[in-house]
Amino acid sequence: MKLGMVIDYAGGFDETVELMLAYEQAGLELAAVPEAYSFDGVSQLGYLAAKTEKLELMSAIFQIYSRTPALLAMTAAGLDFVSGGRFILGLGASGPQVVEGFHGVKYDAQLGRTREVVDICRQVWRREPVNHRGKHYTVPLTKEDGGSGLGKPLKLINHPVRSDVPISIAALGEKNVALVAEISQGWQPLFFHPLKAQQAWGDALAAGFDKRDPALGELDIQLQVNFHVGEPPAEVVQKVRDQLALYIGGMGARDKNFYNQLTVRYGYEDAAREIQDLYLAGQKAEAAAAVPADLVEAVTLMGDEDSIRRQVAEFEAAGVRTFLVNPMAADPADRIEHVRTLARICRG
């Protein structure tokens, strides 16, 4: 089991490096950088690459709409080069709030765009002249496609450190998860219930694995998870409840909330409906209170060492191979010590 962490994109770069080095000494192996409508993730990843030597680095995530597929490939190759082969390209569709609200780009065809982006990236890393004619991307753009006619297939000038940078994709919907199982080395789900993952995603994963190239290896499930060693204080549990209520109740329109749909697939249909009704009515505290206690426990790593050891075993049995932990302890020194404890448990 690999131990990683998603970095808070609101922090300063120098402070983040100091924290990552401290966490690395405690057993951290991977640092993942998100990108919302903050500073771009590439800058911080490049800074981390220059200031660290062993930590793996991952984007969590670069959404597929704001960069062309070729630029995503160039950026990944550059980060892999500057880090000495330590980069994982995390991709995802994000959501219309960011894609349309901040970038002004239409949020559409997540499935088709993701497949084409991955295909183009791998052409670039193999240093093939990029030649792709898909439904969503055409490279090069010919006169018939509305271009000038001057474009021709080009290959990357530089020689990448690796001809196949690992790709990890954030996905929740069943078709998206099937695509991940087919084409990606890693998968970043959110609110992963280890005891109900099979009923939520079993068919989708099986469909994707049936088409998977064996050369991709085992799918690395890289799980973002809230984490606390010892009985969590009430305010920590409340933060988790608030987060679940936000996502289940308010992250998207009533009929287009992936997290609500996932909660239903887990078997919490009545709770999912109640949380959404309350949240959309502005009753956020009541929505948080309606989150089932066993759901809170299942999607977190919280409790004494014996409880965490049991939870780690459940996640591992469900296919999780990487934890991207969010330490919830109030004191920074406690957070580092908790990571040290988890590293010891994971390495057993």
Task: Tell me how far apart the 2 most distant CA atoms of the chain are, in Å.
Answer: 65
- Band of the pLDDT at 157, cuts 50, 70, 90? very high
Alpha-carbon span 66 to 59, nearest angstrom: 14
Task: Say if residue 134's pLDDT is above 90.
Answer: yes
pLDDT at res. 43: 94
* Cβ count within 10 A of residue 230: 15
Alpha-carbon span 33 to 79, nearest angstrom: 12
Task: Say if residue 93's pLDDT is above 80.
Answer: yes
Provide the percentage of residues in the chain whose pLDDT is more than 90: 86
Alpha-carbon span 180 to 85, nearest angstrom: 22
Residue of 44, 36, 42, 57 lying closest to 16 (CA atoms)? 44
Name beta bridge partners: 167.
89
Alpha-carbon span 185 to 189, nearest angstrom: 13
Alpha-carbon span 175 to 41, nearest angstrom: 27
pLDDT per residue as tens digits for the range 190-225: 999 999 999 999 999 999 999 999 999 999 999 999
Please report, for residues 35, 179, 332, 346, the alpha-carbon distance to residue 40 in angstroms, rounded to integers and kept in the order given: 6, 27, 25, 32
Task: Say if residue 171's pLDDT is above 90.
Answer: yes
pLDDT at res. 15: 85
pTM here? 0.93
* In contact, 84 and 96? CB cutoff 8 Å: no
pLDDT per residue as tens digits for the range 214-268: 999 999 999 999 999 999 999 999 999 999 999 999 987 888 898 999 999 999 9
- Band of the pLDDT at 145, cuts 50, 70, 90? confident
Q: What is the mean pLDDT of the chain?
A: 94
Please report, for residues 41, 57, 159, 188, the alpha-carbon distance to residue 167 in angstroms, rounded to integers and kept in the order given: 16, 12, 18, 11
Q: For residue 233, what are the contacts with CB-CB under 8 A and spacing of at least 6?
A: 330
Alpha-carbon span 138 to 130, nearest angstrom: 10
Question: Domains of the chain, with CATH numbers?
Answer: 2-225+309-346 (3.20.20.30), 231-303 (no CATH)
pLDDT at res. 235: 96
Mean pLDDT on 33-37 = 91
Residue of 126, 98, 93, 125 lying closest to 110 (CA atoms)? 93
pLDDT per residue as tens digits for the range 4-34: 999 877 677 888 888 899 999 999 999 999 9
Alpha-carbon span 115 to 133, nearest angstrom: 12
Measure CA 120 to chain center: 20
Burial class (CB in 10 A: 0-12, 13-18, 19+), 317: exposed
Alpha-carbon span 111 to 115, nearest angstrom: 6
